[in-house]
Every structure is written in structure tokens, then in C-alpha cells.
Amino acid sequence: MLDYYGVEADLSEEERMIQESAREFVDEKVRPDIGEHWIEGTFPKDLIPEMGEMGFYAPNLEGYGSPNVSEKAYGILMQELEACDSGLRSMASVQGALVMYPIHAYGSEEQKEHWLPKLGSGEAVGCFGLTEPEHGSNPTAMETRAEEADEGYVLNGSKTWITNSPIADVAVVWARDQTDPDTPVRGFLVETDRDGVSTNKIDEKLSLRASITGEIGLNDVYVPEENILPGVEGMGGPLGCLTQARYGIAWGAIGAARDGFETARDYATDREQFGGPIARFQLQQDKLAEMATQITLAQLLAHRLADLKERGDMRPQHVSMAKRNNVRMARDQSRIAREMLGGNGITADYSPMRHMANLETVYTYEGTHDIHTLILGEDLTGFAAYE
């Protein structure tokens, strides 16, 4: 596997073991059928508990059954999952960074004890409801309402593009009391079997097909007071979760690009035209040299980001730079890999075009490329250019 600058030589024993076991799991259990799942638009749901047993859901958290592995180990895990498919990594990102993380960081002791072991083992599935039909890049303008009622809250509104909502047991829903504009956004744990909750599936996606995506409809849904996440108020809540998930994406995208590179390199070495392997042509070598360089640069960024996170110096803007760069790199390079496979490259028998299509979603969710540009622009100049 491509590691041109030997960054993996510095991995600890534990990090290396996590990488190897994730690679083995993916190769044995997921890779053989992932193309078919992608074509069918299904996720291998039977693997959800097995992924839990493997420790794929938020293993970087401390306590409640989580092994508290290093941030680098977590990143490497996301990389190995996305080397198979962005949908597989999305499952782990949502469950871990967007559902378990907020419960761990902002939840009550009862919420943590009730949900974290179940989510960590894959016995329960969670989803994260922030995006709304009319509010994507600007979630602050959300319309979902939470009104106080009878020792609890009544929720109304709709969320869309929610990974795993049709198969989720619990949704982390972000809402505010719209009658009072000064009321901050709050997070609610909404069990999906509550009266008034609907989770319709979104079909006919042309990207991230091996991942279930849906809506969350909230029609006079009552949740008791104990379902509110007590430890956070305001947009810092959802944005704090997004920083965790984006960190994993900055790593994961490298996996997709690396898999495209390895596939293209193998193909170019085997495929013969004009009397020999196409890898002997300078035009093909130029593509491989550029791909390897871009992947190596992204690896260096991710490894440094992990160091910053480990020592508590990572800012959300650092994550924006890595997410923005590494996903764009993977999106561009998977296209070049596809090209090197000629006609075979447009089939589901090979991974590059599947990665290429998936990366359109990864480029768009968790803050679009444009939004990360604006975050960096503001950080670099002091001027916010969102409006």
C-alpha cells in the first residue's frame, strides 16, 4: 500500500494492529460484495453488529465500553473503511462521531449509560439530524421547533439527507424554540418509534449508494425532559460533532484515493497495449506520479492533524483545511484512476468510478468544499464572507 514517505513507520503497535484488523475485515467481509450493494443501493446491515465487535464505532472515546484508542488510530481506521467504500466509513462516522460523540460530550449520565454501550456494539443504530430541506449550508436558520410542554418538549419540523435515518433506533435532532428567537439550539435524543416520527428513505441517489439515506419527519413528537442533551446550548453543539466527523473524513478520503491508485497501478502493470504493459508509457506514469504525490501530501496533512488533536491544539479551521484538501484530492485522483482503467473503469467490477461517485457526496456533506473555503477565508483575513 502506498506510503511513500514512510509515515506509517511511526505507528504504535496498537495503531498497526487496528490498521491490520480493519484491512482484513474489509477484505474478507465487505469488499467482495460492495460493488453489488452499491448497484442495488443497499448497505450490508448484517455487518453492523460485527463492526461494533471490531470496535469501529468511536473507539477514541473514553469509558462506557469504548477502548479510548489514539486519534491517529481512529483516523487510520476511517482510512481503511473508506478504502473499501465511503458508505462504509459514513456508517462508522455517523454512529461514532455524530451520535456517540454528542452523547458522550453533552449527555447526562443516564443517557451515556443507556445509549453508549448499545451504539458502540452496534445493537442500536443512531443518526444525526441537522440538515433541513431549506437549510443545508446554513443550519443556524433551522426551522425545526421544540416547544416546552408537560415536563418535556414537542418537536415539529423536518430534517433531510440524514444518513441511516430509515434504519436508526435513535436520532440526535437539533431544534430550537421558534417562538423566542433568543432561545438557543438544543440537541434532543428522539427514539424513532415515538409517535409522530417518520423516516422515509431517499431513493435514486447516484452517489454513496451503499449507504442508507432518509428524512426525519417530526409531527408533534413528544420527548420527555430527560431526552434533551443537557451539556450544550447553541450551534456549538452540532458544530462540535461536525468537527469530529470531519476529522475522520479528512483521513477517510485518503483511503478512497489510495485504493484508486493501487487499482490503477495494478491495472497498468497487467494491461497490455501496443505490445506491452501500459505502465511503460510516460503518459500513464505521469498520472501515477501525480496521484502518488497528491496522496502523500494528504497523508502528511492527516498525520500532522492527528498530532495536533492528540495534544489538544487542533482548531476546527485545521480540520476544515484537511477535509477540504483531502476530499478534493480524492475526488480528482479517483477520476484519473478511472481513466487509466479504460472501458473496464466504468464498471462496478473496479472501485475507482464507485469512489469517484461517492466522493461527490463527501465533497458536499459535512460542510461543502465552498463552506470550508469560507471558514479558512475568515480565519485568514478576519472577514466572514458567508452572506
Instruction: List interacting residues with ligand FAD (CB under 6 A).
Output: 94, 128-131, 136-137, 161-163, 208, 213, 361, 364-365, 368, 370-371, 374, 386
Among 48, 10, 63, residue whose Cα is nearest residue 127: 48
Q: How far is the CB of 129 from ligand FAD (least distance, A)?
A: 6
Give residue number: closest CB to ligand FAD.
136
Q: How far is the CB of 304 from ligand FAD (least distance, A)?
A: 26
Grid coordinates belonging to 355: 469512489
Instruction: Using the minimum distance from each CB to ligand FAD, give the nearer residue, 19 or 90.
Output: 90
- Whether the CB-CB separation of 195 and 175 falls below 8 Å is answered with no
Instruction: Using the minimum distance from each CB to ligand FAD, give the nearer residue, 23 or 159.
Output: 159
Polymer length of the chain: 387
Q: How far is the CB of 210 from ligand FAD (least distance, A)?
A: 11
Q: How far is the CB of 364 from ligand FAD (least distance, A)?
A: 5
Instruction: Using the minimum distance from each CB to ligand FAD, give the nearer residue, 288 or 375.
Output: 375
Instruction: Using the minimum distance from each CB to ligand FAD, give the nearer residue, 98 or 288.
Output: 98
- Whether the CB-CB separation of 217 and 200 falls below 8 Å is answered with yes
Q: In whole angstroms, give the CA distance from residue 210 to residue 188.
A: 28
In the residue annotation, 366 being an active-site residue is answered as: yes
Instruction: Using the minimum distance from each CB to ligand FAD, give the nearer residue, 93 or 351.
Output: 93
CA atoms within 13 A on the CB side of 150: 5
- Whether the CB-CB separation of 249 and 94 falls below 8 Å is answered with no
Instruction: Using the minimum distance from each CB to ligand FAD, give the nearer residue, 7 or 371.
Output: 371
The single residue of 147, 366, 378, 387 carrying the catalytic annotation is 366
Write the burial class of residue 380 (CB in 10 Å: 0-12 exposed, 13-18 middle, 19+ buried). Answer: exposed
Catalytic residues: 366
